[in-house]
Amino acid sequence: MDVDLDYEAFRAVMGSFASGVAVVTTRTPAGEPYGLTCSSVCSVSADPPLLLACIRTPSRTLDVLRESGVFAVNFLDAHGREISRRFAGPVQDKFDGVPWRPGTARGVPVLDRVLAHAECSIQQLIDAGDHVVVIGLLVGGDVDRSRSPLGYWRGSYMQVYRMDQPGSIRVEVPEIVEPHGVGDAEMVVELGFGLERIGL
């Protein structure tokens, strides 16, 4: 079977699973911050509290993370598209102009204006194909319940609203999706109007 075809099929299938967007951060022993945009983050265990992030190799952030043994996962809110792009790009100093502070548990960079952050110490690193699965033990964190998440689905950023609180549903079609293709845009706009009908 054609390898490229396999890769496209894999991307199409896995891209169908909607996620949030996070910035995984770490620091050198001297305190210099590093980070990357990461959507492959998931909860692993409640007791002990473990989460994972999958990081593609090579990665500057992963190199520093291996050395420091600590990292933070910063969950972006609906206004976080620019931050997401910045931490996914080839920018030399990704933190330039981005407000952040050292986390209280391990001094790992915590971004301002995020939904929540988790400070972690590395529990396990597992090589898996072209990625490394980083499993972290939660050692600190915080949640801001006033914010709503930035979503990511089939290569587009999304706004996400709660369906169990109809009054809070806000439909701003141009903001709902940043289309990469007309097909996706049509699909999401339809969904947006659907939510509006259910909610009001």
Ligand X SMILES: Cc1cc2nc3c(=O)[nH]c(=O)nc-3n(C[C@H](O)[C@H](O)[C@H](O)COP(=O)(O)O)c2cc1C
Residues that bind ligand X (CB under 6 A): 21, 36-40, 54-56, 59-61, 84, 87-88, 152
* Backbone phi and psi for residue 189, each to the nearest 5 degrees, phi listed first: -60, -40
- Min separation Cβ 155 and ligand X, Å: 8
90 versus 167: smaller Cβ distance to ligand X: 90
Q: Closer to ligand X at the Cβ: 86 or 106?
A: 86
Instruction: Return the closest-CA partner of residue 71 out of 126, 116, 40, 117.
Output: 117
N- to C-terminal Cα distance for the chain? Answer: 49
Please tell me the distance from the alpha carbon of residue 79 to that of residue 92, in angstroms, as a whole number.
23
Q: How far apart are CA 157 and CA 88, in angstroms?
A: 14
Minimum Å gap between C-beta 156 and ligand X is 9
Q: How far is the CB of 188 from ligand X (least distance, A)?
A: 16
Give min distance, CB of 79 to ligand X, in A.
Answer: 15
- Pick the closer one to ligand X by CB: 41 or 167: 41
